Homo-oligomer: A and B are copies of this chain.
Amino acid sequence: MLIGAQTWEFKSKPVILGAATVVGPEEGQGPLSSDFDFVYDNLEIDEKTWEKAERKLLEHASSLALVHAGISKDQLQLFVGGDLMNQIISATFAARTIGAPYLGVFGACSTSMESLAVAAMVVDAGGAQYALAATASHNCTAEKQFRYPTEYGSQKPPTAQYTITGSGAAVVASSGSGPRITHATIGKIQDLGVKDPFNMGEAMAPAAADTLVAHFKDTGRTPEDYDLIVTGDLASVGHAIVSDLLKQDGVTMEKTAFSDCGLMIYDREKQPFVFAGGSGCGCSAVVTYGHILKRMKRGELNRVLIAATGALMSPLSYQQGESIPCIAHAVSIERGEN
């Protein structure tokens, strides 16, 4: 099962039996709009607090994923979830609604692929027939917790990113039809000393490069073995850096479509308020479970690699002068029978 230093190879190739994405109004105005299952027309998500809004996104995506998988809540044997909130309250309160055995995980914005990797590991090992992996983020809960309440109107530098509002959920199953999870490369912490939370792309780029290089080394694959490779939320600054870092490591992406979920989700010209691009737990989740899986279903992509990135600082660690430890987890998905 472990191949090389840090990659799990799933012999049974667990199936993504059903997936779902719900997003807020700004993501609904972006270029991937038609790939999302539901677009809320208000940032409040019809709730009275931002926290309840984020939780509702997660519950909504999870329940839609179960519908798409054709299973009931009672058939779920595991829910692996997490989010950016202190004590991951969005996932936990959603877990109360979902009712399945629950493992809370935290990898900041890498939580999307961390939860998918753990769910796939458990299903592959026979620990569950059906496991749900889900995460969510909301622009306003993140701004309030990590930066400043939006109402303060604080200015931001162009390297800043915009936390997406949305949730992505996937039901991983031991059998059935759908895209198949073949490998997961579990990341190591990388910290090159970046301390600026308004430049997370630069902080996270080395983690993405490290995990991608490890993935190719462990599996013996090259970028050309993939039709599409995406990083999680490096956005414009970080994506340029990771391309350079990979080149230095002898990995050239020239013959492969190589992008970043944070660059794909918004139109930065028409939506300049996103600055360098999207971020947040939901970013790689909605792009993967919405856009990428739909492209696979249409036969446009056969094999993809998603390297979700996470900046694991807290407001307190930043205030105490610490640098930002970062991580990336990569999951390889192949087209299965539709």
Interface of A toward B, CB cutoff 8 Å: 1-2, 5-6, 8, 49, 51, 77-78, 82, 84-89, 92-93, 95-96, 99-108, 114, 118, 121-122, 124-129, 186-189, 191, 312-317, 320, 322, 325, 327
Min distance, Cβ A111 to any Cβ of chain B, angstroms = 9
A312 & B127 in contact (Cβ 8 Å cutoff) = no
Contacts A82-B106, A315-B86 given: A126-B1 contact, CB under 8 Å? yes
B105 touches A313 (CB 8 A): no
Number of copies of this chain that the complex holds: 2
Given contacts A104-B105, A106-B104, contact A93 B317 (CB under 8 A): yes
Given contacts A1-B126, A1-B127, A312-B87, contact A320 B191 (CB under 8 A): no
Quote the shortest CB–CB distance from A315 to chain B (angstroms): 7
Q: Is the CB of B77 within 8 A of A2?
A: yes
Are the CB atoms of B87 and A313 closer together than 8 Å? yes
Q: Which residues of chain B have C-beta atoms less than 8 A from A8's C-beta?
A: 122, 127
Q: Chain B residue with minimal CB distance to A107?
A: B104
CB pair B312 A92 closer than 8 Å: yes
Q: For the complex formed, measure the closest distance between the CB of A112 and the CB atoms of chain B, giving whole angstroms.
A: 13
Within 8 Å CB of A114, what residues of B?
A: 103-104
Q: What B residues does A93 contact at CB under 8 A?
A: 317, 322, 325
Cross-chain contact of A6 among B1, B85, B101 (Cβ < 8 A): B101
Task: Name A93's closest neighbour in chain B (CB-CB).
Answer: B325
Cα(A189)–Cα(B92), bound, Å: 8
| CB pairs A–B below 8 angstroms (8 shown) | A2-B77, A2-B129, A8-B127, A82-B106, A85-B316, A103-B114, A103-B186, A125-B125
Chain B contacts for A325, CB-based, 8 A: 92-93, 95-96
**A239 CB to nearest chain B CB (Å):** 23
Which of chain B's residues have a CB closer than 8 A to the CB of A78? 186
- Give chain B residues whose Cβ lies under 8 Å from the Cβ of A89: 312-314, 316-317
Beta-carbon nearest neighbor of A78 in chain B? B186
Q: Are B2 and A96 in contact (CB-based, < 8 A)?
A: no
Cβ-neighbour of A101 out of B104, B187, B316, B317 (below 8 A): B187
Instruction: Tell me whether A316 and B51 are in contact in the complex, defined as CB-CB below 8 angstroms, given that A87-B108, A101-B187 are known contacts.
Output: yes
Give Cα distance in the complex from A78 to B92, angstroms.
Answer: 24
Beyond A87-B86, A114-B104, whether A127 also contacts B2 by CB under 8 A is yes
Contact A2–B128 (Cβ < 8 Å): yes
